[in-house]
């Protein structure tokens, strides 16, 4: 009889695993509403399946349905309080909700958010995401409600022991936020030397742009391109050149290259490259070329407000 029950149950177990795998693919493909519908039905029929509950929470979270996500992640925490990842996801959903509510309500949530992230970090000494969350939390909170650069640095040091790149990026972030630009630049550069990923380069580029150092930003984007050979970086160079009125010839050349080699994988629609070209030609006082490219941009994306504003400015030349 037990053997018979086993062979009857195995197909059901495999069916459930297949369904969960399908939902994981839906989430990867950004089919969040479809994943939600599927998992709501699944969890209703399998109320104790923690993986199913987690995927339902993920589907809610990807749609910014934070109350629903919090409910599912709390079920996970209650069912398995020793899981660092459950506490991390619960704290993350609480944190995202806190950004959407009034400041008074958000302050009342801080304790639960801290507890969740601290618990995740304590349960798993190698949980990188929980430590990143604590770095961001302690940096972004005002001191009056528990913000602390020293505490943020404590978790950045823990990150550095687990992953030098993450530790350097965390310290760059902390020092940038704490208005220590020389130290921020130092650690962002160390992250590039250590890891060299697109993310590392982008962090330093964003830092230079915030510091109003467009020439350094362009040089860093060029270095990024030399390593990673991504067409999207041509647009980024053109964007900085156009916004700051620097290295216009280089910006113009990069934007034309971007348009010539464009594919959907590049992310930024060609219309934005035409808009940046129009800006560059406006800086050069070349009204006819500026109008030519802004008209192309508007024709491709007619509802973009900055495009229309740019044409108005060009017409005043």
Q: Do 130 and 171 fall into the same domain?
A: yes
Q: Do 251 and 181 fall into the same domain?
A: no
Map tokens 């742009």 to a residue: 209
CATH number, domain at 286?
1.25.40.10
SS3 content of the chain, % helix, strand, coil (to 5): 80, 0, 20
The CA dihedral of 223, 224, 230, 233, to the nearest 10 degrees, is -80
Q: Do 316 and 266 fall into the same domain?
A: yes
Look at residues 154, 184, 202 and tell me which one is the last residue of a structural domain: 202
Q: State how far the Cα of 25 lies from the Cα of 187, in Å rounded to an integer.
A: 36
**At residue 308, does pLDDT exceed 90?**
yes
- Position 146 in a domain: yes
Cβ–Cβ under 8 Å, residues 113 and 94: yes
- Position 170 in a domain: yes
**At residue 18, does pLDDT exceed 90?**
no
- Position 131 in a domain: yes
Predicted TM-score (pTM) of the model is 0.85
- Position 309 in a domain: yes
**At residue 23, does pLDDT exceed 90?**
no
pLDDT tens-place string over residues 140-163 = 887 556 678 999 999 999 999 999
Domain encompassing residue 243: 230-317
Total count of domains within the chain:
2
Cβ–Cβ under 8 Å, residues 197 and 165: yes
Of residues 19 and 214, more confidence is placed in 214
Q: Which of 294, 297, 288 is nearest to 312 (CA)?
A: 294
Q: Which tokens hold the place of 286?
A: 């070349």
Cβ–Cβ under 8 Å, residues 168 and 198: no
Look at residues 149, 182, 202 and tell me which one is the last residue of a structural domain: 202
Distances 224 to 37, 216, 237, 266 between C-alpha atoms, Å:
41, 12, 11, 15
- Position 112 in a domain: no
**At residue 297, does pLDDT exceed 80?**
yes
Q: Do 248 and 191 fall into the same domain?
A: no
């Amino acid at each position: 009889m037990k053997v018979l029950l086993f062979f009857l149950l195995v197909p059901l177990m495999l069916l459930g695993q297949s369904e969960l795998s399908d939902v994981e693919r839906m989430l990867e493909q950004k089919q969040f509403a479809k994943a939600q519908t599927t998992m709501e039905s699944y969890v209703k029929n399998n109320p104790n399946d923690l993986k199913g509950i987690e995927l339902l929470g993920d589907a809610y979270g990807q749609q910014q349905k934070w109350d629903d996500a919090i409910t599912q992640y709390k079920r996970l925490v209650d069912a398995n309080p020793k899981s660092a990842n459950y506490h991390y996801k619960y704290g993350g959903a609480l944190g995202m909700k806190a950004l959407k509510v009034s400041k008074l309500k958000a302050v009342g949530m801080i304790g639960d958010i801290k507890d969740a992230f601290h618990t995740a970090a304590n349960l798993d000494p190698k949980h990188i995401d929980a430590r990143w969350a604590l770095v961001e939390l302690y940096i972004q909170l005002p001191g009056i409600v528990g913000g602390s650069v020293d505490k943020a640095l404590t978790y950045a040091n823990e990150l550095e022991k687990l992953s030098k790149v993450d530790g350097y990026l965390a310290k760059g972030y902390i020092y940038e936020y704490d208005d220590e630009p020389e130290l921020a630049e130092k650690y962002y550069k160390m992250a590039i030397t250590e890891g060299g990923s697109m993310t590392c380069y982008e962090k330093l580029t964003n830092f230079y742009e915030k510091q109003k150092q467009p020439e350094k930003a362009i040089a860093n984007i060029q270095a990024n391109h030399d390593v990673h050979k991504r067409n999207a970086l041509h647009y980024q160079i053109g964007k900085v050149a156009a916004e700051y009125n620097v290295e216009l010839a280089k910006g113009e050349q990069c934007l034309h290259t971007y348009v010539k080699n464009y594919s959907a994988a590049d992310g930024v629609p060609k219309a934005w490259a035409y808009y940046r070209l129009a800006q560059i030609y406006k800086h050069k006082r070349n009204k006819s070329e500026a109008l030519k490219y802004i008209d192309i941009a508007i024709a491709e994306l007619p509802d973009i407000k900055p495009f229309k504003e740019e044409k108005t400015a060009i017409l005043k030349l």
